[in-house]
Structure 1
Amino acid sequence: MNILFIHQNFPGQFKHLAAVLAGQGHRVTALTLRVKERVNWKGVDVVPYGILRKTEQKMHPWLLDLDSKVTRAESCYVAARKMRDQGYKPDLIIAHHGWGEAMFLRDVWPEARMGLYCELYHLSEYPHLTFDPEFPPRDAEMDPLRIRLKNINNHLHFDIAHAGLSPTKFQADTFPDVFRDKISVIHDGIDTQALTKNEGATYKLEDGRVLTRDDEVVTFVNRNLEPYRGYHIFMRALPRLLRERPNAQVLVVGGDSVSYGARPPQGKTWKQIYIDEVRDQIPDEDWARVHFLGRIPYDSFVSLLQVSRVHLYLTYPFVLSWSLFEAMSCEAAIVASSTLPVQEALEHDHNARLVDFFDGDAMVDQAIELLEDEAARARLGKTARELMVETYDLRSHCLPKQLEWMQALSEMPA
C-alpha cells in the first residue's frame, strides 16, 4: 500500500509504526515541517512542506488558533497537490490532525482512507477546565466559549476521517460520541526490551560526579517545566524533601518553554518563577543537590530512569506522558498524582503510590516512605513493569494492534 503520514514534527507518535510499515515493503511517505530537504528516514520518504503565509491581519484572538491551523492546512494542501500531479496517490492517510494539516487532503485524494491520531478533544467543564485554582480564567463564564472554538479543527476533520486512534481511554473519552465510536484505544507502545532495570546503570552529572543505584536519586521529568505537569507543586515541596533527605540527589529534566497551558509573564519562564519562589528556603549546600538537566539525549534519559530510586510524576487531567510509562518499564518506584489519566494505568500501592495533585506534603511523605523501604520500591517497580510488558509493550501488543487497525482502515468504504 501507499501510506502517507501527516505530522508537523514527524515521526512523533508514528516513529515505530511508520518504520515498521516501511520495513514490511509498503511505500511510506511523510509530509512534515520538520525537515527542509527531502530525506529518507528508516525507509520512509520524508517530504518537507513550507508555510505559505504569515498572519498579518487583525482578528479576534479566539480565532488565532484556527487561523494557524488553516494556514498549515493550506500549505500542506499545496504540497499534496504537487505530489498528486507528479503521480502520487496514497491508499491510506494517517494524520495527527492537531495542527490542522490534514484538513484538505481528501480534497486532493478523495478515495484515500483517512485515520486520525486523536490526541485530545477540548472539554470546557471541570476538571478539564479550571482544574488548578491557582490559574483561574480571566472570565469564568466566557472561557468555555473560547475552549469550544478550539474544537473547530477536530470537527472539520471528523467529517473527512474514517477512523481514529487514541493512546489512552482517557484521551479517547474526551471526544463526542459521534466520533468516539470510531476511535480505537491503542497505545503508541513502550520498548520494554530497551527500557528495563539495569543494576549497573550510571548517570554522569555536569560536575563529573557519577550517580549509581547506590545513590539516593529522586527524578522529576517534564518535556517543559510548567504547571500543567505539576512543576509548581514539585518545586514547593522541594525544600522539605531536601531538608528531610540530606543524601538525596534530585534530577530535574525539562525545557524552559511551554508545551501546554498558559504562558508565563513576558520575559519569564515557569522554571525560574518557581525557583525564585523557593530558593531562599533552601540552603546552598542543599541547593547543590538539585540538578536541572534541561533536555537530555534519550540514552542519557534511560540511564537517569535506571538510577532513579523514586520517580515523581504530576499532571493535570490531560494527555499522559510517555516518560511515566518509560519509568515504569525501568521498574522505577513511582509517586504520582491521582488524576484521571494516571488512574487509568496506576493503582495506589499496587504499582505506584498515588497522591492528590495539589498535596505536595503527601508527595514528599510517600517519597520518603519509599526511599526508606527497599522492599516496597522493588514490589511497586516489579508490578509497574509487569503492566508495561503485559499491556503496553511495543512489539507484542501495541504495534500488532496498530497494524490490525490500519488493515481494517484500508478495508473501509472510501
Structure 2
Amino acid sequence: MKILFVHQNFPGQYLHLARFLSADPNHEVVVITQRKAATLPRVKTIRYQPSRRVTPNLHHYLVDAEAGILNAQAVVRAALDLKRSGFVPDVMLGHNGWGEIWYLKEVYPQVPLLGYFEFFYHLRGADVDFDLEVSPPFDSGPRLRTKNLGNLMGLDAVDLGQCPTEWQKSLYPKRYQSLLHVMHEGVDTRAVTPDATAHLRIPNTDIDIACGDEIVTYVGRNLEPYRGFPQLMRSLPTILSQRPNARVLIVGGDEISYGARLPGGRTYKQALLSELGDSLDLNRVHFLGKVPYSVFLKILQVSCVHVYLTYPFVLSWSMLEAMSAGCVIVGSKTQPVEEVVRHGENGLLVDFFSPEQIADRVIDVLKEPRAFASLRHNARQTIVNHYDLQTICLPAHLQLLRMLADR
C-alpha cells in the first residue's frame, strides 16, 4: 500500500502508525511536513514552507484562515510534484488543524482522505466559558464561529475523519458526526509500565529519588492556565507543609500553547512564584522544563501521585501514559478527564478550581499510598483495555485504512 501523510509537525499523532507502516517493505510511505527533523526509517520526507506570511493588518478573525490557505497551497504544490514523479497514494492521512489537507483532493481526487479532527470551537460548553470569573467578550462568539471555517473546510474535503475521544467528537456539529470515527493514537503499554525499582536523579541536582518516595508529579507541554498550573501551584504550600518529606516534580516549558499570554512578557511560573512568595518551599519544588521521553517515563514511574488538570479541551497524552505507568491520578472533574477516569475506581477527581481539594486528595495518597493500590492497578488496566497501542488502537487504524483503500 502507498500512504501519504501530511502533518506540519510530523510525526505528531501519527508516530506509532507511521512507524508500523514504514517497517513493512510492502508499504511505501511519504510525508509532507514543515518539520526539518521529521525523519523515520524508510519514510520519504518532503518539506514545504508557505510562500509568505499572513497579510499584515488582516482582520483578526481571518488570520487562522489565511494561514491555513497558505499552508494548503504549499502542500498542493508539493503534492503536484509528487504526482508528476509518479507517486499516487492508495490513501492519504492528515491533521486538519493547519489547513494542510484542504486542497489535497484537487491533486488526487480519487484517493481517499482520512482527516484528524481535534477540536470544534464553541463559545459555550467547552473551554471559552469554563472560568466563570472571566466573562468572554461579545467578540468571542463571532470570532470562534469564523475560526471554525478551517474545521468546515476539512470536513468537506475528507472521506472520513478521526477524533481521539468521544467528547472531542461530540463537539462537532451532528450533521458531520457520521463521518468521524473515535480512534485514539494509543499508548505503548509495553514501554510505559510500572516499575517498583525505578529511581531517578532529579535533573540538575544531586538528589536521588525512587519509587516509594513521596513524589508528586505534574506534566504539561507548557505551564499555563488551560492545564491548571495556577491551581496546582496554589495547592503546593498546603501539601508541602503537611508532608515534610514530599517533593514535587513539574515538567513543562514557559511558553503558551493555549489561551492568553500575561502582559509584559511574564510567564505564569514567574507570576505564581511571585504570588506565593515564601509560602512555597522551593527546595522541594523542582521545575524540570521540557525533558527527554526517557526521563519523562522515569518521572511517572517514581510518582506517588500524579496531578492532571485541564479545561474542557484536548485530552493530553501524558494523562493516559501516567495511568499506564500505574500512577494514582488526581484529575480535574472536567469532560475530557471524566471520559477516562472514574472517581474512586481508577483515579480521583477534584474541582478544577479548588486548590484545597487538590491538596487534600494529594495528601491522602501521600499519607497512605498502599490504600490506593487498587486505583493504580485499575488505572493501568483502563489503558490496557481501551487504549493499548498493539491490541486496540493500531489494529483499529489499520482496519480503517484498509477499508478506505478498498473503496
TM-score range, shorter chain: over 0.9
Partner of 1:6: 6
Of 156, 174, 178 in structure 1, the residue corresponding to residue 153 of structure 2 is 156
Is the aligned partner of 1:333 residue 2:341? no
Partner of 2:95: 96
Would the aligned equivalents of 1:164 and 1:184 in 2 still touch at CA under 8 Å? yes
C-alpha deviations, 1:87-128, integer Å up to 9, x for none? 221221101010111111111111111001111111221333
**1:349-368 alignment to 2 at 5 Å?**
349-368=344-363
Of 191, 196, 201 in structure 2, the residue corresponding to residue 199 of structure 1 is 196
Of 288, 291, 303 in structure 2, the residue corresponding to residue 296 of structure 1 is 291
C-alpha deviations, 1:149-175, integer Å up to 9, x for none? 111011111112100111110111111
Alpha-carbon distance, 1:222 to partner: 0.4
Partner of 2:161, secondary structure, is strand
Would the aligned equivalents of 2:31 and 2:45 in 1 still touch at CA under 8 Å? yes
Would the aligned equivalents of 1:30 and 1:44 in 2 still touch at CA under 8 Å? yes
C-alpha deviations, 1:156-203, integer Å up to 9, x for none? 111121001111101111111222111111111011111111111111
Tell me the distance in 2 between the aligned counterparts of 1:390 and 1:255. Answer: 32
Partner of 1:21: 21
Alpha-carbon distance, 1:399 to partner: 0.3
Greater shift after overlay, 17-26 or 360-369? Answer: 17-26
Is the aligned partner of 1:287 residue 2:282? yes
Is the aligned partner of 1:82 residue 2:81? yes
Tell me the distance in 1 between the aligned counterparts of 2:68 and 2:157. Answer: 16
Percent identity over paired residues:
41
Would the aligned equivalents of 1:35 and 1:47 in 2 still touch at CA under 8 Å? no
Partner of 1:212: 210
Partner of 1:9, secondary structure, is coil
CA gap of 1:328–1:340, structure 2 versus 1, over 3 A, is same
Give the gaps of 5 or more residues in structure 2: none
Would the aligned equivalents of 2:102 and 2:153 in 1 still touch at CA under 8 Å? yes
Is the aligned partner of 1:126 residue 2:125? yes
What one-letter code is carried by the residue in structure 2 that aligns with 1:312? Answer: V
**1:121-270 alignment to 2 at 5 Å?**
121-137=120-136, 139=137, 141-205=138-202, 206-270=204-268
Give the gaps of 5 or more residues in structure 1: none
Alpha-carbon distance, 1:360 to partner: 1.1
- Compute the TM-score of the two structures, normalised by the length of structure 2: 0.97
CA gap of 1:40–1:132, structure 2 versus 1, over 3 A, is closer
C-alpha deviations, 1:240-274, integer Å up to 9, x for none? 11111111110000011111112222321122111
Tell me the distance in 2 between the aligned counterparts of 1:204 and 1:214. Answer: 14
**1:109-120 alignment to 2 at 5 Å?**
109-120=108-119
Alpha-carbon distance, 1:209 to partner: 1.2
Alpha-carbon distance, 1:58 to partner: 2.2
Tell me the distance in 2 between the aligned counterparts of 1:86 and 1:32. Answer: 18
What one-letter code is carried by the residue in structure 2 that aligns with 1:256? Answer: D
Tell me the distance in 2 between the aligned counterparts of 1:40 and 1:342. Answer: 32
Tell me the distance in 1 between the aligned counterparts of 2:165 and 2:93. Answer: 18
C-alpha deviations, 1:350-380, integer Å up to 9, x for none? 0001011111101111111111112222111
What one-letter code is carried by the residue in structure 1 that aligns with 2:190? Answer: Q
Alpha-carbon distance, 1:329 to partner: 0.5
Partner of 1:94, secondary structure, is strand
C-alpha deviations, 1:389-411, integer Å up to 9, x for none? 11111001110011111112223
**1:310-329 alignment to 2 at 5 Å?**
310-329=305-324
**1:403-414 alignment to 2 at 5 Å?**
403-412=398-407
**1:55-66 alignment to 2 at 5 Å?**
55-66=54-65
Tell me the distance in 1 between the aligned counterparts of 2:52 and 2:279. Answer: 49
- Compute the TM-score of the two structures, normalised by the length of structure 1: 0.95
Alpha-carbon distance, 1:73 to partner: 1.1
Alpha-carbon distance, 1:134 to partner: 4.2
CA gap of 1:383–1:109, structure 2 versus 1, over 3 A, is same
Tell me the distance in 2 between the aligned counterparts of 1:363 and 1:58. Answer: 44
What one-letter code is carried by the residue in structure 2 that aligns with 1:308? Answer: S
CA gap of 1:153–1:369, structure 2 versus 1, over 3 A, is same
Q: Which ranges of 4 or more aligned residues in structure 1 deviate by more than 6 Å?
A: none
Would the aligned equivalents of 1:332 and 1:377 in 2 still touch at CA under 8 Å? no
Would the aligned equivalents of 2:330 and 2:362 in 1 still touch at CA under 8 Å? yes
Partner of 1:375: 370
What one-letter code is carried by the residue in structure 2 that aligns with 1:246? Answer: P
